[in-house]
Homo-oligomer: A and B are copies of this chain.
Amino acid sequence: MNFSYFNPTHLYFEQNCVAAHPEAFRGWGRRALLVTGRHSARANGSLDAVCQVLESQGISWSLFDQTIPNPTLASVRQGIAFLKEEQANFVIGIGGGSPMDTAKAIAFLACQDLPDAAVFDSRQYQDKVLPLLMVPTTAGTGSEVTPYAVLMNEAAHSKSSISTPWLYPRAAFLDPQYTWNVGLATTRWTAIDALSHSVEGILSQKGDPMITALALDGIRAFGQCREALLSGKFTPETRERLLYASLLGGLVLAHTSTTVVHAMGYSLTYYKEIPHGRANGLCLGGYMELVQKTHPQPVDAIREALGLPDLAAFREFLDRLLGEREPVTEEEILLFSQEASGRRNIPNSLVPPTPEQVAAIYREGFRRP
């Protein structure tokens, strides 16, 4: 046993937790920058709840609702300019992964003096950040508890992470209500993303007993939602479980970071605009099968937590969930394999695959069920 652990984010998991914990919004600054997407934070009530609690505490706010899906550095720079104009001194991210990652990047890069080319180079970071609070409204990214902000990285043909402990949010407010009306596709792909974080954490070089205990509980919660994910019929209880699975996936991810599954998924999102969680789902089963050959025990623990009799049953479940696959050419697969094989998540895999094995996992993932 040889591990470390650190996660300073204060978690609140509860219906109406924003309104219930006004004290948690105090002490960070006099003016908040609220970072959201265009619509959902308004529609699901999260933006209103945050504005009300801020007003009740005499804290003013400015709204930056220009977040784009798969945020770019340019969109973050735009947010920083707005933050400075508005003289906000802390940042609240409200939404899915894109608004939260944008909020984190704004809060951090606003305090740094980094040219674009140095943004992903942690050796150049200074120990400064604006306080960050997070209100997730999808169940998948786990960004509310991680030290990462993931942005599109044109130079790397991929997504890349700003990664520093200064990105840990001070607090995260997880209210399952905000996820009740998330559409079916987004619910499925974000759920797979959450599952993938927990599975990859166990099947990474940085897995350890404590993180495995958390990951297996997240996988267990996902497992209890399998039928709902297939049927598309969600109760408040399944929504709550998916948010819980996402939170635990985030805690795992914060500690272990990701493996070949995310490395491979990034190419699919960059080149083919396949949503992040779905992209991971296309690669997850193949990686688990690869690991099982030499490390059956952890794969078996995952399978058991999912409540499934064998790995084949999991792959069948994934096949049904992913449905019809995008068309992909052998040329694309070779390009993606080459690029994915150079990413730093590969050596973090418990079983780092060769480029040929990466290509085989891609091929199999795109085979129609």
Q: Which residues of A contact B (CB under 8 A)?
A: 1-15, 176, 209-210, 213-214, 216-217, 221, 240, 244, 247-248
Contact = CB atoms under 8 A, between A and B. Distances in A.
A30 B5 CA distance: 26
A213 B217 contact: yes
Contacts of A12: 4
A221 B213 CA distance: 11
A4 B8 contact: no
A281 to B, nearest CB: 24
Nearest to A1: B240
A3 B14 contact: yes
Contacts of A213: 213-214, 216-217, 248
Which 9 A-B residue pairs are closest in the complex by CB-CB distance?
A213-B217, A8-B8, A5-B11, A6-B10, A2-B14, A4-B12, A3-B13, A1-B240, A213-B213
A85 to B, nearest CB: 33
A13 B2 contact: yes
Contacts of A13: 1-5
A244 to B, nearest CB: 6
A349 to B, nearest CB: 22
A2 B210 CA distance: 22
Contacts of A11: 3-6
A193 to B, nearest CB: 19
Nearest to A13: B3
Given A6-B10, A210-B247, 14 more contacts: A1-B240, A2-B13, A2-B14, A4-B12, A4-B13, A5-B10, A5-B13, A6-B8, A6-B9, A209-B244, A210-B217, A210-B244, A213-B214, A213-B248
A125 to B, nearest CB: 15
Contacts of A209: 217, 221, 244
23 contacts: A1-B176, A1-B240, A1-B244, A2-B13, A2-B14, A2-B15, A4-B10, A4-B13, A5-B10, A5-B11, A5-B13, A6-B8, A6-B10, A8-B8, A209-B217, A209-B221, A209-B244, A210-B214, A210-B217, A210-B244, A210-B248, A213-B216, A213-B217
Contacts of A248: 210, 213
A10 B10 CA distance: 14
Nearest to A27: B127
Contacts of A216: 213
Nearest to A6: B10
A25 to B, nearest CB: 14
Contacts of A240: 1
Contacts of A4: 10-14
Nearest to A173: B4
A5 B248 CA distance: 12
A218 to B, nearest CB: 9
A1 B176 CA distance: 10
A4 B174 CA distance: 10
Contacts of A5: 10-11, 13
For A3, A9, A216, the residue with the greatest tally of chain B CB atoms inside 10 Å of its CB is: A3
Chain B CB within 10 Å, residue with most, of A1, A6, A10, A240: A1
A247 to B, nearest CB: 8
- Highest count of chain B CB atoms <10 Å: which of A213, A221, A244: A213
Contacts of A1: 13-14, 176, 240, 244
